[in-house]
Each structure stands twice: as structure tokens, then as C-alpha cells.
């Protein structure tokens, strides 16, 4: 569980370049959530999540964050423990690959946790499998000769190998083609079996609508609201207020229903839409 | 990491910020030469007065300027102290004596002057970097050095390299920040005291950093190619540097100060010069 209370954050305080990125954020993420964070560019999403494993430390008198029983505003923090607990996948994680083989790169996290070599290898093997790569093919290859999508999987495996309880992803599908995007999302869903809580930042409303069970909208460093997908994408007034666009699937459903077809306007998932259309056709044929 | 931005530009609206960077550079050069001609306390005071006026006009908080001096204050104190204790003056009797050190009155004067001179030498460049962006300085330098093109020195290319380097430094710092964060998130510890361990710990940062620097360089080269960049030949500027009456006036004014210092230093008109100034 992540419990954010009255969190504020200022970049470069006391200089001419100072910007306040977060204002009094209150947020509760329960264990088992697939939690989506959306908001326009510069809203403060990345700043907020980088607090979750203390890469950004909470400033003085700027609120607090509780992760289960760990208080992140405490002076003395067991960073190792925290970072094993909260796995963080940054935007373009493939840029952090450095070692000469995929296996060694994935083992970097477990190694830093001070595990034995066997345990490190065991975890790397599992993580590489978890992201849908073939361990025997991949282990000895250089991460730099892989395709963009494969690199990203390796990078995600590097985080999963630490076996986090909370997985935080910052725009995990940015810059991939539609199939690559779907594969990454499937992989995250797969990883969720092992790591129960997932927090994901995304600009892609289709992903958010299809996978998240709760969505926080951020605007100019403030929480505009926390909603269920049906609630947010089902209400035009709410969408307008939050400055959020409809997922393409839902937009299509709305257009079809405007055109006179009997289709639910709050469909959030491609499969669901396809099923609805097929049902409609078989009804008509009958 | 972010605090080591190169150039310490302090944005403000002032006549010093607005001034033509070429004139600022020439004035700085003139000023530095002039400082070497200062010899009497009076001339030091005279220069300091005008430096303070420049700081005042630049609207940079005085504390900010002093912060720029933080780095050299130690050097300054040490050199002054050394000068004081090792100064020898055969004609004078020492004020005090301790072990092999003798302190002379003229030694104290010399050390104060040395410290003051160093201070003056650092102050003005600090003001310059506080009031002009690295890009402005680069362009100014290119323009001032452009006569060297006649003797086949590739001034434009050198300036371009310099401005690209300056432009990329903050980007690379940001990149380093990001990569360090990513590796920290995987449990990397960069706080080790052992220097060998430290270098080894930096490897997971350095490798991605180099990869990204090369990627950036490639991208930049492509971007320049696709915009038909062909070097200096026939190239015009988007921001044409223009100087104003104020710039010329400032330059003339500093020339005047130089002349005054020279007069004071060489005592060309005898000490009447001071009475001429009305002091
Ligand atoms: N290192 C930094 N130094 C100063 N200001 C920063 C820094 N990083 C971000 N900011 C500022 O903080 C605000 C929030 O930035 P943040 O990166 O958290 O936004 P974001 O919601 O993640 O945006 P995006 O969708 O583009 O990733 C922005 O106004 C940004 O300019
Ligand atoms: Mg971001």
C-alpha cells in the first residue's frame, strides 16, 4: 500500500529557476491495484512516482509517504530494502543497459541486493522468462545488439529480477509500435501475478482504460481526481473537466452508437467492442 | 548533480545583461590588463569602486557574486599569507619575528595588494558569466576572432564545436542524473569511499552515458545534414549582434579608467593628476 499525504515538491528551491512541481498531493494506492496516473505533459507525474522509492527525497515540511510501514519522510531510511520492495521502470529504460551480456545486466539488481551468484542467476533466468524472452537464446548476447523492443524487455527484466512487491512504470510503452505496446502491456499483466501492485504512468488512454482498475488524474501538480475507468471515461463532463481524451475504442463505440447501432458507450476494451459488434451481427442475422 | 551547471547565468533585466557580448569581452580584457597596472592602494580602491558600480548595475544580488568567489577564497588567503611571511625587505626593520619568519610592514602591504588584485581579477569575469549566457559569449568570441579567418583559422567551426559542447553539457548532466537514478533504483550504491570501488560503481553509469552521447552526436549530425549545413561559407546569423550607443559609451568609459590608472601608476603628471581629477 502506498499512502501519500499532503506531498509537495519544489525543484531548485531558492533560485531564480525554482518550480513547484507538486502541491499537497493526497493519494492512496492499495495492494493489488493496477493504478494508472495520467495528466498532461509537465503535470508532475514523474516527479510524484520518483518519490516512491526515495530517488527524490521528501523535502522538509512537505508531507509524507507511507509504503506499508516505511515512512519515506524519515531521515534514516533503509534504501536497499525500500528499493528491493519498490521496483521502478523509468521512461526509455533501455537507456540504462550497460553490461556486456543480457544475463549479467539483469543480474545487476540482485547482485546489489547482496544475493549469492546462484540466486542471482536463478532470478535473472526467471525474470528473462517473465518478460517473454528465451533465456537460452538471450543470456549470452550483448544487450546493445538487440532490437528496441527486446532491449526494453531486458531492462524491465532487470527490475523484475529484484522481485519487487510494487512495480512502478513511467510510460512503459512510449516509442513502440502498436504490437510492441501490446506485448509490453501483456508482459506487465503477467508480471502482476508475482508483484501484486502496479503503478503505471501513461499517455495512452487505451492502455489505461483496458488495464487499470483505478486512475488518478494529475493537473499542474495537483490531483484533479481519482476515478474508476468506467466512471471517468463514461462521463463527458468529467473528461472535459480533467482535460482527458477518450480511448480510441470508446470513441469508436460512441460513434457507432451515435450511428444508431445498439452498442454500449462505455466499452473500454478492444475485445469487448469486437464481441459487441459480433453479437449485434448474429442478432441481425437471426 | 544539477548544481554544476556550466556558466552561472543569473537571469535579470539590466543594462549589463543587455549589453553586446563582444563589448563585454573587450571591456573584460581591457579591465584585466588595467588591474595589472594598479599599484597604489588608491588605484585599487578606484578600480573596486567601478567594479561595484558594475555589479550594482547588473542587478545580480551581491551575495550571488560573492558565491562565485567561493572557489578561490582559499587560494587567495593562502597566497596572501605566504607573501606576508616570506616577504623580505633588507632596508626595513621587521615588525615581528617568529622562528624563520619575519613580518615587515611593506610585506603586509604587499600581501594585501596581492589578495586585492586576485579578487579584482576574479570579480569581473564572474560578473561577465553571471550576466551573459555561454551561447552569447561563444557568439561574441566568434565575432571578435573572425579576422583570424583570413589566416585560415577555422573560427566558425571552433565556435560551433564550443557552442555544441556548451549546449550539451546540461543535457549530459541531466542524462547522467537519469541513468544514476535508474541504477540506484536497481540498488547501485555510489557512496563508497574506496576510489577503486567508486570507479567500478560508476561503470553502469558511464557505459550508458557514452552510448547516449554517441547517439546524440549521430542525431545531431543527421539533423544538421538534413538542414543542409555546410560550414561557415555563406552562412548568416539568425540573431545578428547589434551594439548600441551604450556599449560604445561603456567601452570609452573603461578606456578612460585605464588611462587614469596609467597616469596614477606612472605618475606622468606628478600627483597633480589627483587634483586634476578633483580628489
Ligand atoms: N530536474 C528538474 N529540474 C527542474 N524542474 C523540473 C525537473 N524535472 C521536472 N521539472 C519540472 O517539474 C514539473 C513536473 O515535471 P514532471 O517530469 O514530473 O512531469 P510529467 O508529468 O512527468 O511530464 P511528462 O508527461 O512530460 O513526462 C514540470 O514543470 C517540469 O518543468
Ligand atoms: Mg514524465
pLDDT tens per residue, range A171-199: 999 989 999 999 999 999 999 999 999 99
B144: in domain: no
What total number of domains does chain B contain? 2
Residue B31, Cα to own-chain centre: how many angstroms?
13
pLDDT tens per residue, range A207-225: 999 999 999 999 999 999 9
pLDDT at position B5 is 44
pLDDT confidence tier of residue B269, bands split at 50, 70 and 90: low
pLDDT tens per residue, range B83-120: 888 887 777 777 777 777 778 888 888 899 999 999 99
Cell, residue B264: 596614477
**Residue A99's closest chain B neighbor by CA?**
B204
B205: in domain: yes
B110: in domain: yes
Residue B75, Cα to own-chain centre: how many angstroms?
16
Cα–Cα nearest to B138, from B147, B127, B148, B129? B129
Q: Report the 10 Å Cβ neighbour count for A103.
A: 21
**Is-contact A83 A162, C-beta < 8 A?**
yes
Same domain? For B7 and B121 the reply is yes
Question: Is the CB of B204 less than 8 angstroms away from the CB of A113?
Answer: no
pLDDT at B2 over 50: no
d(CA B34, CA B114): 15
d(CA A258, CA A256): 5
Q: Does A156 touch chain B (CB under 8 A)?
A: no
DSSP code, position A204 = -
Cα–Cα nearest to B205, from B250, B159, B173? B173
Same domain? For B112 and B68 the reply is yes
B97: in domain: yes
d(CA A196, CA A29): 12
Same domain? For B262 and B230 the reply is no
Same domain? For B206 and B162 the reply is yes
Q: Higher-confidence residue: B277 or B102?
A: B102
pLDDT tens per residue, range B121-158: 988 998 998 898 888 888 899 899 989 888 888 888 88
**Is-contact A161 A154, C-beta < 8 A?**
no
Same domain? For B161 and B216 the reply is yes
CB of A49 within 6 A of ligand 1: the answer is no
pLDDT confidence tier of residue B167, bands split at 50, 70 and 90: confident
Question: Residue B100 sits in which domain range?
Answer: 1-132+244-279
Q: Higher-confidence residue: A286 or A25?
A: A25
Range 169-188 of B in CB contact (< 8 A) with A: 178-179, 181-188
pLDDT at position B276 is 56
pLDDT confidence tier of residue B273, bands split at 50, 70 and 90: low
**Is-contact B175 B212, C-beta < 8 A?**
yes
Same domain? For B49 and B120 the reply is yes
**Residue A157's closest chain B neighbor by CA?**
B186
Q: Report the 10 Å Cβ neighbour count for B236.
A: 5
DSSP code, position A148 = H
pLDDT tens per residue, range B45-80: 999 999 999 999 999 888 888 877 877 888 888 988
d(CA B221, CA A262): 55
Same domain? For B62 and B113 the reply is yes
pLDDT at B7 over 50: yes
Separate counts of helices (H) and strands (E) for chain B: 11, 2
d(CA A266, CA A101): 46
Cell, residue B99: 622562528
B159: in domain: yes
d(CA B96, CA B158): 55
What dihedral angle (degrees, nearest 10) is formed by the CA atoms of A205, A211, A215, A219? -30
Residue B196's Cβ-side half-sphere holds a number of Cα atoms within 13 Å equal to 0
pLDDT confidence tier of residue A72, bands split at 50, 70 and 90: very high
d(CA A278, CA A286): 12
**Residue B1's closest chain A neighbor by CA?**
A12
Question: Is the CB of B188 less than 8 angstroms away from the CB of A158?
Answer: no
Same domain? For B68 and B180 the reply is no
Distance from CA of B185 to the nearest CA of A (A): 6
What are the two backbone dihedrals, phi and then psi, of residue B31, each rounded to the nearest 5 degrees?
-60, -45
Q: Which of left, alpha, beta for B95 (phi over 0: left; psi -120 to 50: alpha)?
A: alpha
Mean pLDDT of A1-6: 95
Residue B162, Cα to own-chain centre: how many angstroms?
16
Q: What is the largest CA-CA distance in chain B?
A: 75
Q: Report the 10 Å Cβ neighbour count for B183.
A: 24
Name every residue whose Cβ is closer than 8 Å to that of residue B99 and which is 6 or more positions away in sequence: none
pLDDT confidence tier of residue B3, bands split at 50, 70 and 90: very low
Same domain? For B37 and B65 the reply is yes
B138: in domain: no
Distance from CA of A58 to the nearest CA of B (A): 16
Cell, residue A265: 458507450
B150: in domain: no
**Is-contact A70 A250, C-beta < 8 A?**
no
pLDDT at position B85 is 83
Same domain? For B112 and B233 the reply is no
Same domain? For B119 and B249 the reply is yes
Q: Does B207 touch chain A (CB under 8 A)?
A: yes
Range 132-151 of B in CB contact (< 8 A) with A: none
CB of A170 within 6 A of ligand 1: the answer is no
Name every residue whose Cβ is closer than 8 Å to that of residue B2 and which is 6 or more positions away in sequence: A12, B173, B174, B177
Counting ligands in written order, the one closest to the CA of A39 is 1
For residue A83, give the nearest of B178, B187, B205 by CB distance: B187
pLDDT confidence tier of residue B163, bands split at 50, 70 and 90: confident
B146: in domain: no
pLDDT at B24 over 70: yes
pLDDT tens per residue, range B187-244: 888 876 777 877 888 889 999 999 999 999 999 999 999 998 887 777 787 778 888 8
pLDDT at position A173 is 94
**Is-contact A42 A22, C-beta < 8 A?**
no
Whether the predicted interface score ipTM is above 0.85: yes
Pocket test for ligand 1, best of A25, A36, A41, A47 (most atoms within 8 A of CB): A47
Same domain? For B122 and B11 the reply is yes
**Is-contact B135 B167, C-beta < 8 A?**
yes
Amino acid at each position: 500500500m502506498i499512502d501519500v499525504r499532503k506531498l509537495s515538491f519544489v525543484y531548485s528551491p531558492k533560485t531564480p529557476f525554482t518550480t513547484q512541481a507538486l502541491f499537497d498531493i493526497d493519494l492512496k494506492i492499495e495492494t493489488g491495484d493496477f493504478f494508472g496516473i495520467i495528466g498532461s505533459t509537465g503535470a508532475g507525474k514523474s516527479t510524484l512516482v520518483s518519490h516512491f522509492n526515495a530517488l527524490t527525497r521528501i523535502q522538509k515540511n512537505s508531507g509524507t509517504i507511507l509504503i506499508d510501514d516505511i515512512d519515506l519522510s524519515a531521515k534514516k531510511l533503509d534504501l536497499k530494502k525500500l528499493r528491493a520492495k519498490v521496483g521502478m521502470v523509468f521512461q526509455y529504460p533501455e537507456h540504462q543497459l550497460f553490461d556486456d551480456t543480457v544475463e549479467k545486466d539483469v543480474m545487476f539488481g540482485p547482485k546489489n541486493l547482496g544475493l549469492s551468484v546462484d540466486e542471482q542467476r536463478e532470478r535473472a533466468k526467471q525474470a528473462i522468462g517473465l518478460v517473454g524472452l528465451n533465456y537460452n537464446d538471450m543470456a549470452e548476447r550483448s544487450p546493445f545488439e538487440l532490437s528496441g523492443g527486446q532491449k526494453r524487455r531486458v531492462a524491465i527484466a532487470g527490475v523484475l529480477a529484484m522481485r519487487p512487491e510494487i512495480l512502478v512504470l513511467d510510460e512503459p510503452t512510449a516509442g513502440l509500435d502498436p504490437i510492441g505496446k501490446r506485448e509490453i502491456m501483456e508482459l506487465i499483466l503477467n508480471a502482476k501475478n508475482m508483484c501484486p501492485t502496479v503503478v503505471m504512468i501513461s499517455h495512452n488512454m487505451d492502455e489505461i482504460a483496458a488495464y487499470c482498475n483505478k486512475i488518478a488524474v494529475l493537473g499542474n501538480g495537483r490531483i484533479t481526481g481519482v476515478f474508476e475507468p468506467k466512471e471517468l471515461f463514461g462521463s463527458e463532463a468529467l473528461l472535459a473537466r480533467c482535460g482527458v481524451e477518450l480511448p480510441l475504442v470508446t470513441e469508436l463505440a460512441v460513434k457507432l452508437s451515435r450511428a444508431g447501432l445498439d452498442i454500449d458507450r462505455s466499452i473500454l476494451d478492444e475485445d469487448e467492442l469486437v464481441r459487441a459488434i459480433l453479437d449485434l451481427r448474429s442478432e441481425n442475422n437471426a | 548533480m544539477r548544481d554544476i551547471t556550466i556558466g552561472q547565468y543569473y537571469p535579470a533585466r539590466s543594462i549589463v545583461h543587455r549589453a553586446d557580448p563582444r563589448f563585454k569581452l573587450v571591456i573584460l580584457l581591457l579591465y584585466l590588463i588595467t588591474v595589472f597596472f594598479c599599484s597604489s592602494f588608491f588605484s585599487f580602491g578606484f578600480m573596486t569602486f567601478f567594479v561595484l558600480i558594475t555589479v550594482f548595475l547588473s542587478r545580480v544580488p551581491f551575495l550571488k557574486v560573492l558565491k562565485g568567489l567561493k572557489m578561490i577564497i582559499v587560494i587567495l588567503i593562502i597566497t596572501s599569507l605566504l607573501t606576508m611571511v616570506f616577504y623580505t625587505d633588507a632596508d626595513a626593520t621587521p615588525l615581528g619575528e617568529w622562528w624563520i619568519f619575519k613580518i615587515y610592514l611593506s610585506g603586509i602591504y604587499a600581501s594585501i595588494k596581492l589578495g586585492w588584485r586576485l579578487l579584482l581579477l576574479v570579480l569581473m569575469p564572474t560578473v561577465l558569466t553571471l550576466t551573459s549566457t555561454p551561447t552569447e559569449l561563444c557568439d561574441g568570441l566568434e565575432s571578435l576572432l573572425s579576422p583570424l579567418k583570413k589566416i585560415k583559422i577555422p573560427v566558425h567551426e571552433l565556435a560551433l564545436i564550443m557552442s555544441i559542447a556548451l549546449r550539451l553539457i546540461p543535457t549530459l548532466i541531466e542524462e547522467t542524473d537519469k541513468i544514476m537514478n535508474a541504477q540506484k533504483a536497481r540498488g547501485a550504491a555510489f557512496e563508497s569511499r574506496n576510489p577503486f570501488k567508486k570507479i567500478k560503481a560508476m561503470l553502469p553509469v558511464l557505459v550508458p552515458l557514452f552510448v547516449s552521447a554517441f547517439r546524440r552526436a549521430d542525431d545531431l549530425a543527421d539533423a544538421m545534414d538534413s538542414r543542409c549545413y555546410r560550414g561557415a561559407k555563406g552562412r548568416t546569423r539568425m540573431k545578428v549582434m547589434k551594439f548600441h550607443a551604450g556599449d560604445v559609451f561603456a567601452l570609452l568609459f573603461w578606456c578612460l579608467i585605464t588611462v587614469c590608472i596609467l597616469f596614477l601608476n606612472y605618475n606622468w603628471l606628478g600627483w597633480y593628476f589627483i587634483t586634476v581629477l578633483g580628489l
